[in-house]
């Protein structure tokens, strides 16, 4: 099974989602795992506490982090800062791409 973690929460739920995603990737629980950030989670990406930062870096280095929403980033004036750590693309298009490719969305 292929899964898509859609992380929107900008609080402890995001931290839990990152930990679950990183551990799932490490344990090879799924055929493939991708992560898309949307909304408040993008704000939290700028100030991730440990160990969430480690989980994010593990996901990113493994190629599991797909993108964060470019439109949300532009609206909040954080596009330049976020583009240094994650690719920015329209979240709706990325989610549709993965769902149409057979990924099961898990929303946090």
pLDDT, residue 87, reads 99
Q: Kindly state the helix (H) or strand (E) to which residue 19 belongs, with its residue range.
A: helix 12-27
Q: Which domain holds residue 51?
A: 2-107
Predicted confidence (pLDDT) per residue in 78-90, tens digit: 999 999 999 999 9
Predicted confidence (pLDDT) per residue in 41-73, tens digit: 999 999 999 999 999 999 999 999 999 999 999
The tally of domains found in the chain comes to 1
Contact 36, 67 (CB under 8 A): yes
CATH of the domain at 39: 3.40.1260.10
Predicted confidence (pLDDT) per residue in 1-43, tens digit: 999 999 999 999 999 999 999 999 999 999 999 999 999 999 9
DSSP per-residue letters across 35-91: EEE-THHHHHHTTPPTTHHHHHHHHHHTT-EEEEEHHHHHHHT-HHHHTTTS-EE-H
């Amino acid at each position: 099974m292929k899964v898509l973690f859609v992380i929107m929460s900008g609080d402890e739920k995001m931290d839990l989602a990152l930990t679950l995603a990183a551990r799932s990737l490490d344990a090879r629980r799924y055929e493939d795992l991708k992560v898309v950030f949307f909304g408040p989670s993008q704000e939290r990406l700028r100030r991730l506490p440990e160990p969430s930062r480690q989980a994010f870096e593990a996901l990113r280095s493994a190629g599991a982090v797909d993108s964060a929403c470019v439109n949300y980033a532009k609206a909040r004036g954080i596009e330049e800062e976020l583009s240094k750590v994650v690719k920015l693309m329209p979240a709706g298009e990325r989610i549709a791409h993965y769902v149409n490719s057979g990924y099961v969305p898990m929303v946090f």
